[in-house]
Amino acid sequence: DAKTTQPTSMDCAEGRAANLPCNHSTISGNEYVYWYRQIHSQGPQYIIHGLKNNETNEMASLIITEDRKSSTLILPHATLRDTAVYYCIAISYNTDKLIFGTGTRLQVFP
């Protein structure tokens, strides 16, 4: 499974777009990129996933580079409630043990 690398922390002003990068340079063709977030001490929550096309849902947008070696999660209008740890992981047909890594701690400030 592809290893993902994320910055340790990021800040974002409330109302602005938060752009969270993830590097997955060893990703294989059948691995999907998934994003989760964990607010305070709650269980992680699914946000969005994609293979090679950009994706958008009610929570966020996912931009995957053409070579698929990196992706960016975009929260278009960050709110204080978006303050959380964001995890990027890769999943494929033969993925069984899901390793999360340390994620990016996003702090949204007023």
Contact 99, 2 (CB under 8 A): no
Q: Is residue 43 a contact point for another protein (CB under 8 A)?
A: yes
Rg (CA), the chain: 13
Phi/psi at 3 (5° precision): -85, 140
| Subset of residues 59 to 88 that bind another protein, contact rule: CB under 8 A | 85, 87
Among the listed residues 59, 63, 74, 91, the single contact to another protein using CB under 8 A: 91
Output 82 or 103, the one with its CB closest to another protein.
103
Q: Which of 12, 27, 36, 83 binds another protein (CB under 8 A)?
A: 36
Using the rule CB under 8 A, give the single segment among 13-21, 26-34, 62-70, 74-82 that binds another protein. 26-34
Among positions 5, 25, 26, 45, the unique one binding another protein when judged by CB under 8 A: 45
Instruction: State the number of CA atoms in the 13 A half-sphere of 56 facing the CB.
Output: 2
CA atoms within 13 A on the CB side of 90: 24
Sign of CA dihedral 98, 68, 83, 36: negative
Interface positions with another protein (CB under 8 A):
30-32, 34, 36, 38, 41-46, 49, 51, 85, 87, 91-93, 95-103
